[in-house]
Amino acid sequence: MSASVGLDRARVVEAAAALVDEQGTESFTLAALAARLGIRSQSIYAHVAGLDQLRRALALLALEDLGRRLGRAAMGRSGRNALHALAEVHAAFAAERPGLYACSLRSPKGDEELARRINGVSEPWYAVLASFGLGPSEVAHYHRILWAAIHGFVTLRGQGLMTRDADPDRSFRLMIDLFTDSLDAGGAATEKEDIRPIG
């Protein structure tokens, strides 16, 4: 096999993204990517230093795409409408790009560029939650809770574990309604003192 004409890092990363979407992240290898690109495995190293660097590049790509989608969804919206729009975009991204979504779940661990991309994903959520009148600390707590709930839902659904007759789309909307109902009721509108462990 010979290197494809015009092959560059961007094409390598895009091909890797398509491959993880099709086959999942667990079985993803540089050899499989090389076969997809029609090149020898060794040729991959002209574009990425190794598998971990490629996984980082996939995380950056995923976070950039998700952040852009969330930013568009939040534009001109606030409150309940905006919260539902963000949740639906997050779920749609996880369904459309399952492998790339999985790659986005990477701790920054001192990686400033990755941290910036993560913040770019969080910013639309923070702005919408603040529109309910939450203070900064409560915004962070509610964002964490929402992210955990949405991620859990889309992961379980993606794994085919929602097998009952009840429509999972309705279940998802009801889940977001539970959060918005609480926020609309003003139950968290006042900044609470953080609870600290004793001792």
Summarize the confidence of residues 154-162 as an average pLDDT. Answer: 95
Average pLDDT of the chain is: 90
* Whole-number Å distance between alpha carbons of 153 and 150: 5
Summarize the confidence of residues 183-199 as an average pLDDT. Answer: 52
**Long-range interactions of 75-84: CB distance < 8 A, separation 24+:** 77/128, 78/128, 78/131, 79/128, 79/131, 79/132, 79/180, 79/184, 80/180, 80/184, 82/128, 82/131, 83/128, 83/129, 83/176, 83/179, 83/180, 83/183, 84/173, 84/176, 84/180
Q: Say which CATH architecture domain 68-184 belongs to.
A: Orthogonal Bundle (1.10)
Is the pLDDT confidence value at 186 over 90? no
CATH code that applies to domain 1-48: 1.10.10.60
Would you kindly state where each structural domain of the chain is located, as residue ranges? 1-48, 68-184
Is the pLDDT confidence value at 196 over 80? no
Is the pLDDT confidence value at 20 over 50? yes
The 10s digit of each residue's pLDDT in 62-113 is 999 999 999 999 999 989 999 999 999 999 999 999 999 999 999 999 999 9
Q: Give the pLDDT band (50/70/90) at residue 193.
A: very low
Summarize the confidence of residues 115-141 as an average pLDDT. Answer: 95
Query: What percent of the chain has a predicted confidence (pLDDT) above 90?
Result: 84
Note the pLDDT of residue 27. Answer: 87
